[in-house]
Amino acid sequence: MKEQLEKIYTDAVADIDKASTVKDLEDIKFKYLSRKGEFNEIKKGLKDLSDEDKRVVGALANNITQKLESSISEKFQLFYEQELNKKLEKERIDVTLPGQFVPHGHVHPLTSTTNEIVSIFQSLGFSVAPNSDSPEVETEYFNFDMLNVPKDHPARDVQDTFYTNVGENVVLRSQTSGAQVHVMEGQKPPIRIIAPGRVYRNENINSRKNNFFHQIEGLYVDKDITFGDLKGVLNEFIRIYFGASRPTRFRNSFFPFTEPSAEVDVQCIMCEGKGCRTCSGTGWLEILGAGMVDPNVLRGVGIDPDVYSGFAFGMGVERLAMLKYAVDDIRLFFNNDVRFLEQFKG
């Protein structure tokens, strides 16, 4: 019996040596160690032996079983490691490969220009009017009536203003100046606000004009505000925004809601004043309209023009961006061509 056991053991060891797959090992395990396996068959014969032999042969059988179990599980472990290594090799990641390019968005140049202008005026003591004081869809009351624009003024004409069919007298605002009325109706002087936003005009589109664009309205109402204050604030703004050396000029102008009125031109950066397509040959681009708030406007919102005075201005964001970054066509801001927009990163 002893010999039989030893023979099975040598056979099993040889089989284990030869095994080359997990399946082979499972078969070996079944052949030798299962309940129907060879050892069990022999163990069944133990009961016929003498007590002494039982002890010796039983111990031997147990010893051999244990040795086989541990060689089989060692080999299982080996196969497992080999499989793992193969898998790792196959799925190896090359960390030196260049990564995938994910394009990053960034702030639109009109937004960054608006932010810059807003922060300059904030540094000069102006605060931003709440959105509700500066709606894009307006009634004629705010866009024109309260701004002293006569009923027959050509600016009301469908040529310039987009009328809606939402309701009678509802327009897409043609200027941010309506914000002046909203703010003054809700607040008494001193008032020092700016109101950025989009405006719409039925224009023929060209390199300088689009049928919607952006303005920043400014309003300062208090006692003893003069045209000198207006000039001082605007000059300071221009100095900070463009730097000291950019030629600018104040020009006489007319707006129904300011008296006296002015416009400010900045020398065209594209031609340095020589005259080009962008400035239509004049060498200058208008950036804003301004003036002293007309007494009629103050009276309309219940502010006594004998006690208070004020100035207002409305500047064009696109024009200011064009003049700073030498953009020769306003339409570039609206085409969303990444080759253009990318130039304003960071």
Name the minimum Å distance from CB 143 to ligand PHE: 10
Cβ–Cβ contacts within 10 Å for residue 43, how many? 16
Closer Cβ to ligand PHE, 312 or 320, answer by number: 312
CA end-to-end span of the chain: 88
Q: Which of 37, 196, 197, 289 binds ligand PHE (CB under 6 A)?
A: 289
The interface mask with ligand PHE, positions 295-314, x = CB under 6 A, is -----------------xxx
Cα distances (Å, whole numbers) of residue 199 to 52, 136, 176, 231: 110, 7, 7, 25
Name every residue whose Cβ is closer than 8 Å to that of residue 206 and which is 6 or more positions away in sequence.
Answer: none
Q: Which of 65, 258, 267, 309 binds ligand PHE (CB under 6 A)?
A: 258
Name the minimum Å distance from CB 239 to ligand PHE: 20
Closer Cβ to ligand PHE, 57 or 129, answer by number: 129
Name the minimum Å distance from CB 180 to ligand PHE: 7
- SS3 state of residue 207: coil
Is 139 a binding residue for ligand PHE by CB under 6 A? The answer is no
Cβ–Cβ contacts within 10 Å for residue 93, how many? 6
How far out from the chain centre does Cα 326 lie? 25
Among positive and negative, which fits the CA dihedral 222, 224, 228, 232?
negative
Q: Which stretch binds ligand PHE (CB under 6 A): 16-24, 56-64, 285-293, 325-333?
A: 285-293
Is 178 a binding residue for ligand PHE by CB under 6 A? The answer is no
Closest to 175 measured CA to CA, from 205, 204, 218, 208: 218
Query: Rule CB under 6 A: which residues touch ligand PHE?
Result: 175, 177, 255, 258, 261, 289-291, 312-314
